[in-house]
Amino acid sequence: MGWFKRNKEGILTPTTEKKETPEGLWYHCPDCKNVVTSEDHIANLSVCIQCGHHDRIGSEEYFSILFDEHFYEEINANLTSADPLNFVDTKKYFERIEAAMEKTKLNDAIRTAYGKTGGHNIVIACMDFQFIGGSMGAVVGEKISRAIDYCINKNAPLLIISKSGGARMMEAAHSLMQMAKTAAKLTLLSKARLPFISLLTDPTTGGVTASFSMLGDLNIAEPKALIGFAGPRVVKETIGKDLPEGFQTAEFLLEHGFIDLIVKRTELKEKLSLILSFFRN
């Protein structure tokens, strides 16, 4: 005799009568495994209601969070990547670009826009990770460069929201030089005495971190964002040991002195307005 006696039979509902749950109705937090409706999750700016895990979001979401009444004017939206080297790896680069544009409905890995946040004029450049890993090629460099020109023209501060794996390899040295180009332009923004706030979000690595992302008058980050120069896998291979817990997180960078403060997304707009008013008054 077994230890237990089954009172009910197994699943009795025939497959044909099974009710399908529509995709995307629920959000399952990868950190704390909490489940909430997608609606509630989005209403909380894609931050887990239970544990505060910050889900990756794109430029559309950041613009709607930050710009007053979700109103903004996108600038230089019509720039797209060229393929100056006719680069081919396992796939042709121009096909990769086309596929990425098709999939994401974006023109490249960054969008720039002008508007108001908390009443302050501002230019926001926001990277999109879905577009080839948010990689920086000539378009990212040029759009940041033009955004800075726009700031100088309009006498407006600049916010760049970084979210990138680094330079875009398929543009080789052209992408490397975007590090130089963006840094060069930032010297002009400084000369005009306009503030540059750099917001580093998950993930910000490689050539993006090693250029404009680390050059903010204020460097701020979202909680637990991965931020570094070399990726964690590369560092692990270099030292041949496991990485310490929390290595290369926003908190780690704050502790080592490279981040001014960590800001929760739910408080981002409010903190940003405060920061901008410090610079203005």
Partner 1 sequence: MPTYLEFETPIKELHDQLEKAKEISAESNVDVSKTVKELEKKIKEKTAEIYENLSPWQRVLASRHLERPYTLAYANALTDGTFLELHGDRNVKDDKAIVGGFGMMDGETIMFIGHQKGINTKMRQYRNFGMANPEGYRKALRLMKLAEKFNKPIVTFIDTPGAFPGLEAEERGQAEAIAKNLYEMFQLKVPVICVIVGEGASGGALGIGIGDKVLMLENTWYSVISPESCSSILWRSWDFKETAASALKLTPENMLEQKLIDGIIKEPLGGAHTNPEEMFKIMKVELKKHITKLKELDPQKRIDKRIKKFCSMGVFHET
Q: Which residues bind partner 1 (CB under 8 A)?
A: 78-82, 84-85, 87-90, 137-139, 141-142, 145, 167, 169-181, 183-188, 206-207, 209-215, 228-230, 234-235, 238-239, 243-244, 247-248, 256-258
Which residue in 173, 145, 138, 171 sits closest to 160, CA to CA? 145
Question: Whats the size of the chain, residue-wise?
Answer: 281
Q: Which of 97, 192, 116 is nearest to 148 (CA)?
A: 192
Sign of the CA dihedral with 98 first, then 99, 102, and 108 last: negative
Largest Cα separation within the chain, whole Å, is 86
Residue 215 C-beta: closest distance to partner 1, Å: 5
Minimum distance between the CB of residue 190 and partner 1, rounded to whole angstroms?
A: 8
Instruction: Residue 196: name the closest of 213, 179, 171 by CA.
Output: 213
Whose Cβ is closer to partner 1: residue 137's or residue 195's? 137
The residue (of 37 and 80) whose beta carbon lies closer to partner 1 is 80
Q: How far is the CB of 196 from partner 1 (least distance, A)?
A: 11
Residue 42 or 101 having the CB closest to partner 1: 101
CA 97, CA 160: separation in Å to the nearest integer?
23
Q: Residue 97's closest CA among 133, 60, 63?
A: 133
Instruction: Name which of 14 and 240 has its Cβ closer to partner 1.
Output: 240
Q: How far is the CB of 89 from partner 1 (least distance, A)?
A: 4
Identity of the residue, 112 or 178, whose beta carbon is nearer to partner 1 in the bound complex: 178
CB of 243 to partner 1, least distance (A): 7
| CA 183 to chain centroid | 19
Nearer to partner 1, 55 or 222 (CB): 222
Kindly state the smallest distance separating residue 194's Cβ from partner 1, in Å: 15
- Judge whether 93 and 83 are in contact, CB under 8 Å: yes
